[in-house]
Amino acid sequence: MQPFQLNIPQAILDDLRARLAHTRWPAEPSQASWGQGTSPAYLRELLTYWQHDFDWRQQEARLNQFARFQATIEGTELRFIHERGRGPRPLPLLLSHGWPDSSWQFTKLIPLLTDPAAHGGRAEDAFDVVAPDLPGFGFSAPLPATGPFANQTASRLQQLMTTTLGYARYGAHGSDVGTLVTECLALDYAPSLSGIHMTGVPFSRMLVPPADPSATEQAFLTSNLQRFMQGAAYVTLQARDPHTLAPGLRDSPAGLAAWLLDKFRAWSDSGGNLESRFSKDELLTNLTIYWATDTIASSFAPYHQVGPAPQGLNAPKIEVPTGFTSFAHDLLQAPREFAERFYNVRQWAEYPAGGHFPAFEEPQALAESLRAFFRPLR
């Protein structure tokens, strides 16, 4: 394990600005509607800011304030944040992000977890936080294309936590793609886990619906299917046609921005106003990470490298203590009785605000929920 600092070569940033300067704008760039995807007017506004005003070096310096490291595990180079907790006995906590982001998602959450006493909490609730860029995301190398993403990733993260960092037991939290990884950890490495926490039931659990659903479960499964059918075009493309989609997104910063911005607006608790939840600098920090690391193609791996991932009732029930924190505007809102079919549910918390990116949208609420869930498991 060695220290690692973000330092994007200036040539990549210069090339990015040159590409932004030569963007081929649509015929009606003033169109402000989001009804057919990303608003052309907002896209032009943001890309103009990206070209002329966005200061990556300032954001890079902020990101480098975290203790960052790199390690090669099972042939894959992982980059990760490892921030020590300030308390009497910090609990190791692994954070697994989703798509389309990276460990960047946790930059607001980490200080609340490592130093709770400084943020309205108690010192005895402190965590040692480990937040990797999952393989193929951010600054971590992609996985071999020979096995399922979640299982391969879980194996490497188990080695990171136990062998590389030396933790005998730890907790794990995941959102979006990270829930699949967290679930695999609980299935394959249960003795190492004090508990797992997720922001929702993984979608794979819904692929084989129960034969005897309650009225509440049936209503959820029906609404979930309808919502999935309405907004799942990106899943189909990233799973079935990644080599068709990726070249345009890798070659055009405008294309990359349009693809990701639509998801951040639709999936967050933004009320239609993207910048009510994310500033331009925050959106562009995430976009610049994707652009500079050239990881948009490798970030599709969870969609097309699914393999024999746990599906529905065919997967064994997870007995590791499990907590869920649900945010009102997240994509999937499974009821507790559905989750209890698959997990040893010890905590169920619901918040009236926040969406699919709770570590960034509602970090205080998520931090409080994580502290409460893991408190009796330390």
In a domain, 148, yes or no: yes
Region 107-120: mean pLDDT is 97
In a domain, 29, yes or no: no
**pLDDT tens track for 128-181:** 999 999 999 999 999 998 889 999 999 999 999 999 999 999 999 999 999 999
- What pLDDT shows up at residue 306? 83
Region 49-56: mean pLDDT is 98
Lowest mean pLDDT among 71-85, 200-214, 223-237, 327-341: 223-237
pLDDT at 28 over 90: no
Percent of the chain with pLDDT over 90: 85
In a domain, 364, yes or no: yes
Say how many domains are in the chain. 1
Residues 6+ apart with CB under 8 A from 246: 296, 297, 300
pLDDT at 321 over 80: yes
- Could you give the angle at which helices 280-293 and 10-21 cross, rounded to 10 degrees? 110
In a domain, 68, yes or no: yes
| Beta carbons of 180 and 134 less than 8 angstroms apart | no
What DSSP assignment string belongs to 267-330?
A: HSS-TT-GGGT--HHHHHHHHHHHHHHT-TTGGGHHHH--TT---GGGSPPEEEEEEEEEETTS
Specify whether the backbone of 84 is left (phi greater than 0), alpha (psi in -120 to 50) or beta. Answer: beta
C-alpha 362/C-alpha 268 separation (Å) is: 11
C-alpha 147/C-alpha 222 separation (Å) is: 31
In a domain, 269, yes or no: yes
How does strand 343-351 pair with strand 193-198? Answer: unpaired
Tell me the residue range of the domain where 229 lies. Answer: 2-24+34-377
Chain mean pLDDT for the chain:
94
CATH of the domain at 238: 3.40.50.1820
Region 223-238: mean pLDDT is 82
Greater model confidence, 210 or 103: 103
- What pLDDT shows up at residue 308? 55
C-alpha 354/C-alpha 240 separation (Å) is: 30
In a domain, 121, yes or no: yes
Lowest mean pLDDT among 113-127, 153-167, 209-223, 363-377: 209-223
- What pLDDT shows up at residue 331? 87
The CA distances from residue 123 to 41, 88, 192, 257, 376, in Å, are: 47, 7, 24, 40, 15
Percent of the chain with pLDDT over 70: 97
**pLDDT tens track for 258-275:** 999 999 999 999 999 999
Order of strands across the sheet with 76-83? 2-3, 68-73, 76-83, 127-132, 91-96, 170-174, 193-198, 318-327, 343-351
Lowest mean pLDDT among 156-165, 197-206, 286-295: 197-206
- What pLDDT shows up at residue 5? 97
- What pLDDT shows up at residue 309? 45
C-alpha 8/C-alpha 11 separation (Å) is: 8
- What pLDDT shows up at residue 310? 47
In a domain, 57, yes or no: yes
In a domain, 177, yes or no: yes
C-alpha 50/C-alpha 251 separation (Å) is: 16
